[in-house]
Structure formats: C-alpha cells, structure tokens
Structure 1
Amino acid sequence: MTGVAVRQVQVTFDCADPRALSMFWNEVLGYVLPAPPPGFGSWDDFAATLPPEQRNSASASIDPSGAGPKLFFQRVPEGKTAKNRVHLDVRAAPGIEGEARMAALETEADRLVALGASRAARHEPAPPLSHGFLVMTDPEGNEFCLD
C-alpha cells in the first residue's frame, strides 16, 4: 500500500474531428456532452465566440451518472499511424456466454457500424481465458473491443 489516494482518470483521444468523435462515443456509451460554459445556451453558441481556427479544437463526453471516466477529444494535425497501445473494452454482453454472447456482440457491432465504426476482427470464445469478443475501430481508426 503506497498511501496514494485513488484518483479519477480521463481518457484522451487525439483526433481530426473532436466534435464528431465525441458524438460517436456518446452513442456508443450512452454518454453526453458536458454543459456549455456559463452564459452560453449551447456549445455552438460558445464556439461562435472563438476564432475560426480554434473552433472544434476540443470536445468532451461524460457519463451522465458521473460513474464513468470523462472522454476528452483534442484535435491534432497528424493522423493515426499505428495500433493503439491502450484501447477501450465496451462491455456489450455482460453475463452472456456462448453463442448468445456472440449474437449480442454482433447486434451491437451492426448498430455501431451504422454510426461509423468498422469491424476489424472476431475472436471466438476460448474458455476459460476468453468468452469471445469483437475488435472494432471508431470513425478515426481507434481500436476498441466489444466484450
């Protein structure tokens, strides 16, 4: 035991289109945009006050219940060039096993593909270590798993 207090984490995505990617992840996770800054009725109202080059330079997604980590999206000039070293596992079929699990994952994958995700691989159940999962990519190519 180190005596260090438990800390919250934020997951940050480098991307080309922060707003679009945050809206995608909102649909995946049931997250929402945080409230706009005080004095603004919407994020679009706030963005209108910024110089054009600063608009859509960042966005965020939050768990409306406050339980999950904040996702932060920041615009960077370079594109993705390699496999992610860290990725999200989206729990799309908790407590389901076998063919029913894989069917539930496939149903969720179809929904996410319609939102702009892509399929990368399917891994069949191999108990006791793996119950099966799907590897996906978000609209900017970031890998994640449906688990």
Structure 2
Amino acid sequence: MSSVRQVQVTFDCAEPERLARFWCEVLGYVVPPPPKGFATWDEFKSSRSPEDRDAWFACVDPENAGPRLYFQRVPEGRVVKNRVHLDVRVGTGLVGAERLAALEAECARLVALGAVHVRTLVADDENESCIPMQDIEGNEFCLD
C-alpha cells in the first residue's frame, strides 16, 4: 500500500479566480502556469465554452511546502458553518501580548484585502489568542 504524498485543499465557491487570488495574498502563494499548450491564462480561458470559462482556478505554494489550493465554482452558496477550516499560523512561537499583536496586525492586513474579522479570542488559562475570520466569500478561517 502506498502512502499519500500530496494534499490539495478544494474550496467550493462562486468566483474561483477572485477567491484564489485572495488566498494567494493571504498565504504568499502564486498562480501556477497556465495549462500545457497555452501561453497565458487568458488564452486558456478563451478556448473554453462560456459556461466553463471561469469554472475553476488554483494557487500553489511557490516553495512547494504547502498544499495546492483548488477553487471550483458551484451554483449554491454556503449555508452552514464550515466543517473544516484553515488555520493561518501567524503567531507560532509567540505568546501573550506579542502573539496578540502579531495576530491583530495580520487581521488588519487581511481586512484590507476584503476578509471579515469575526471576533478576537484572547488567551485564557488553556488557550492562546486566535482570531476567527471569514474570507471574501464567507469561508471561515482562523489566525492562529
């Protein structure tokens, strides 16, 4: 039996390219080259039928350390809380006021990109601070 070597995270969404480009900014990811045989993404898109033109998009970690993110257009919107979410680990190794300051600075940067600050959970006796947020389509994620 072989083991899994790669993981891709897939988002159902309304606007795949817009959401992919948002996550590129959040994570420092990049848009991969267009599919084989196409010089640009615009060339690829123009080769597709109108209903398939913007059906999907992706972004990748330029260092190939993180998973590929794939965004696929679906007709329905999100109606309930995500069962899985991403934790964007900006406070790793930090504690107390230093951690909270790093989280708040990143929160401000992401709000400027269109994310929504849901609330700030301040450290207590059991947990360090974190900031639940929503991306530009309402998908939940946490600054951790």
Structure 2 SS opposite 1:65: coil
* RMSD between superposed Cα atoms in Å: 1.2
Residue number in structure 2 paired with 1:132: 129
Aligned counterparts of 1:114 and 1:68: Cα–Cα separation in 2 = 24
Q: Distance in 1 between matches of 2:99 and 2:93?
A: 8
**Counterparts in 2 of 1:43-122, with a 5 A limit?**
43-122=41-120
Deviations 1:14-34 (A, max 9, x none): 000000000000000000111
- Any gaps of 5 or more consecutive residues in structure 2? none
- Structure 1 position 7, deviation (Å): 3.4
TM-score by length of 1: 0.93
Cα distance in 2 for partners of 1:133, 1:77 equals 32
Distance 2:4 2:37 in 1: 33
TM-score normalized with structure 2 length: 0.95
Q: Which runs of 5+ in 1 are unaligned?
A: none
Report the counterpart of residue 7 of structure 1 in structure 2: 5
Tell me the number of residue pairs that the alignment of Structure 1 and Structure 2 aligns: 144
Alpha-carbon distance in 1 for matches of 2:69, 2:60: 6
Residue identity matched to 1:143: E
- Inter-partner Cα distance in structure 1 for 2:51 and 2:2: 40
